[in-house]
Amino acid sequence: MKNILVPVGSSKNAKCHLQYAVDFAKAFGAKVYVVQIYNVYTKAGTMIKIDHILERESQAFLDEHVASIDKKGVEVITRVFKGKLVDTIESVCKALKIDLIVLEPRTNSIKEEVYLGKTSGKIVKQTEIPALIIPECYEYKPIVKMLMATKSAAVKKEGALKPLIAIKNQYKAIVNLLLVKTPNYDKDDLEVSKELSAIITNTTKTDAPTTFQAVLEHYQDHNPDLLCVVRRKRGFFKKLWEDNTILKKDFHSTTIPVLVLSGLK
């Protein structure tokens, strides 16, 4: 893991979130790219050009933001981009060869009952970039035990497990697998691939309507330091896919980091 991206918003949690990202990056010897993306909506008859103003103010904000934390020797680079959120994030990640996006659940100071806001929700659900969602005001600590929850253990996509393997190896962590047999399962889904089997310590098989429901039922039994789920349109966030906002009452794993992998197939 060499390059980590941290999108920055205006939430009260932004400073401690960036500190976590820097502490996490230090463990891997990675660079941190701190970015802010803005878009300009013009009205007919508007004469004032504000692009350069927004860019200047955003850059000043990022520089001040980074100066407020302890970089601990980590290379932290600030960048400001103009464009639509998802398209710009994808282009930036490709250009900078980003391995992981470290997200705060709510990049803006919105309602307290919200777990995943619209900005973070869009990045998690509408891109194929691995993401690590860090709880608000969460202090960095080594990851000792991970729980990976999925309805398919068939890994066919090259590099899909790369972030999980990197974290496991860095912390010498235990990875437990929660394999969920859903109503419309395929036999191949329940066969653990060699690549995944090589990093798993224990496997728990369970029947549940969705992976999401299985996690709610088995989460406390495993008591992990990190939950790992797989991004797919009919996967872990299926229940809430129509809306980019996720409420805390609908997602109870709000006290530990959540690693979201790109699809395994």
CB atoms within 10 A of CB 145: 15
Q: Compute the average pLDDT of residues 240-258.
A: 54
> How are beta strands 100-103 and 246-247 bridged, if at all?
unpaired
SS3 79: strand
pLDDT band at 169 (very low <50, low <70, confident <90, very high): very high
Whole-angstrom distance, CA of residue 134 vs CA of residue 7: 12
Structure tokens at 256: 């530990």
Interval 108-132: pLDDT, tens: 444 443 345 566 777 777 788 999 9
Q: Compute the average pLDDT of residues 171-183.
A: 94
Continuous segment of H or E residues that includes residue 146: strand 145-150
Interval 94-112: pLDDT, tens: 999 999 999 987 544 444 4
Instruction: List, in order, residues 6 or more apart from 196 with CB less than 8 Å away.
Output: 153, 155, 161, 177
Question: Measuring CA to CA, how many Å separate 160 from each of 33, 75, 230?
Answer: 22, 26, 9
SS (H, E, C) 124-138: HHHCCCCEEECCCCC
Whether residue 137 contacts residue 232, with contact meaning beta carbons closer than 8 Å, is answered with no
SS3 175: strand
Interval 53-96: pLDDT, tens: 888 898 999 999 999 999 999 999 999 998 888 899 999 999 99
Q: Compute the average pLDDT of residues 125-145.
A: 90
Name the residue among 131, 185, 113 with its Cα closest to residue 153. 185
- Residue 147 CA, distance from chain mean position: 15
Length of the chain: 265
Model-level pTM? 0.85
